[in-house]
Amino acid sequence: MQKLSCSHICSVLSADKDPMGQAIAQYYATGKAAKLRVFSSLFYEDEIPVATLFRTYKDMPLQEQEALRLCCGRVLDVGAGSGCHSLELINRGLEVVGIDISPLSVDVMCKRGINAKVVNFFDHLFVDRFDTILMAMNGIGIVGKIENLPQLFMRLKQLLLPGGQVLLDSSDISYIFKDDDGNVDIDAAQGYYGEVDYRMQYRNFKGDEFYWLYIDFDTLSLHARNHGFLCEKVVDGSHYDYLARLTMI
């Protein structure tokens, strides 16, 4: 499996290696999409219903609705996808910049009237300041592995205005490792259990393998504190998930 190096996490996607972007572009153009297939060593083949990437406020889970409610000032929507959160924030009168490594998705966002840019969050050449940094739909997943968290916190410090906040939702996926008796069977030697390997496919477009981090609230708080952030839980979701708010101490 491809190791996540800095050059990898600082890059953007080419259209032929961007199944999600292909799905978003097709759904936007035609109102229909084929299956967006998801593979991982952790579970059987799964699917992301493409329509959910275009969800509106009323179809969003509680933690996303709450995150949108808390957004204020200039907002950076990280890994904005089709722009579903950006659009809602624009409708509420906020100034939003949406960034994504998928040129196909950014093109859709621009067509939807969003100020969107093809930018990798970890790219230091992207210099700007925001009151709110939104990382929705487990957006912290972009760090891939716990070992990359220092780069995340460094970038957040560079991009936050004084008094700014980060709103992110994630999940504690330890429930996946529970046996029939409810005991959690996790081999700590394999690394943090929330580092999930993924590959996606849309029609014939196959993406590269990547890691996507799911992080439990206590682990997030610990790392956040070590990097000068206060981490508060705003709300619990319905399925081991939560919304957190990070502010600089």
Binding site residues, ligand SAH, CB under 6 A: 9, 20, 53, 78-81, 84, 99-102, 105, 120-122, 136-137, 139, 142
Closest separation in Å from C-beta 178 to ligand SAH: 26
Closest separation in Å from C-beta 249 to ligand SAH: 25
In angstroms, the CA 93 to CA 203 distance is 37
Nearer to ligand SAH, 16 or 218 (CB): 16
Nearer to ligand SAH, 102 or 221 (CB): 102
Residue 164 · residue 229 · CB < 8 Å? no
Nearer to ligand SAH, 147 or 218 (CB): 147
Which ranges of the chain does DSSP label H, i.e. alpha helix?
A: 6-9, 19-30, 62-70, 84-91, 103-111, 149-159, 217-226
In angstroms, the CA 86 to CA 92 distance is 10
In angstroms, the CA 14 to CA 6 distance is 17
Token representation of residue 220: 């997030």
Q: Which of 120, 87, 118 is nearest to 105 (CA)?
A: 118
Q: Among positive and negative, which fits the CA dihedral 248, 134, 72, 159?
A: positive
Closest separation in Å from C-beta 102 to ligand SAH: 4
Closest separation in Å from C-beta 241 to ligand SAH: 13
Is 237 exposed, middle or buried, given 0-12, 13-18 or 19+ CB atoms closer than 10 A? Answer: middle
Nearer to ligand SAH, 25 or 78 (CB): 78
Closest separation in Å from C-beta 179 to ligand SAH: 31
Nearer to ligand SAH, 125 or 189 (CB): 125
Write the DSSP symbol of residue 207: P
Closest separation in Å from C-beta 182 to ligand SAH: 31
- Nearest residue relative to ligand SAH (C-beta): 79
Nearer to ligand SAH, 19 or 164 (CB): 19
Token representation of residue 236: 């619990």
In angstroms, the CA 149 to CA 223 distance is 8
| Distance in angstroms between the alpha carbons of the first and the last residue of the chain | 37
